[in-house]
Amino acid sequence: MVSKLNKKNLKRELSSFQETRRAEEYKNLTFTVVLVSPEHAANIGFIARIMRNFDYENLVIFNSIEDRKKILNYETQGFAMQGKNILMNAKFIDIIEQKDHILKLKSFLNQFDLVLATTSKGMRNSNIKRLAIFPQDLTIPNSVKPLNIAILFGKESRGLTNDEISLADILLRIPTGLDYPSLNLSHACGIILYEIFKKIYNINIGRGTHPVLLANREDRQLLQDLIQNIINKLKIRNHKKENVKFAFRNVFERSLMSKRELSLITGIFSKVDNILKSLNLYENY
């Protein structure tokens, strides 16, 4: 029975395994994180790190309140960690006349096909300009042609203004407790990027060079057949046999069982089956 868990197939699956990869239907999407008037270099560094975690590359710092030298200094690079290249290659857009802020932002966003904005407000839906959806409810479009998507985040002290939000196509809000809905900028960015990441990537359970391959239906059926065989050999009343079979099936089907786990469990049941065969125990009921 155990030998039926084909070792060659398992080796082939291991060699071709990819823990995470961009889904084919989303390969033409390009995302740009746009920080509008950020106030603290540390947050920008942390955001660059988070972007690296989830495979985002493009960072734009629009009309920054924080000094550019501080954003790019050694300390902020330390916050960015492996996202240092994202930080150092960030595009800076400076506005000399602050009265031109909205006009310049609007002009900049014209290059994108879809603009997502974020807010911590809108819990009571009283402001029509801040009607938001949750990130998990966002539908990511797929496109045959390249599609450029911008994700806007506002300054730490107050977020995006109504005028800035009005330039977006979709407004997102992260659900939080009612008493304190405001998240740190880098934390909010991380949550939004992760939610989008889950939608556009095929994610498999894995551990680097030692991936976890889940047992498929055929593999699990081998175990069920073995258990059924054992049940038939034991002195179990007929009216209980079906319940025992379904009890085992329910427990194993509810679990997220890997091929390795299934192989070990099947091995134990196989030994039990062999012992019963050697004792010549057959049902008496």
d(CA 245, CA 147): 52
What pLDDT sits at residue 16? 58
Which element (helix H / strand E) includes 22?
strand 20-22
What pLDDT sits at residue 11? 62
From first to last of the 285 residues of the chain, give the pLDDT tens digit. Answer: 444 455 566 666 656 556 677 888 899 999 999 999 999 999 999 999 999 999 999 999 999 999 999 999 999 999 999 999 999 999 999 998 989 999 999 999 999 999 999 987 655 555 555 578 899 999 998 888 899 999 999 999 989 999 999 999 999 999 888 788 788 999 999 999 999 999 998 876 665 566 667 777 887 888 888 888 888 888 778 778 888 888 888 888 777 777 778 888 888 988 888 888 887 655 444
Please name every residue paired with 118 in a beta bridge, in sequence order, or none if there are none: 172
- 126 CB burial (10 A radius; 0-12, 13-18, 19+): exposed
d(CA 126, CA 25): 37
What pLDDT sits at residue 130? 59
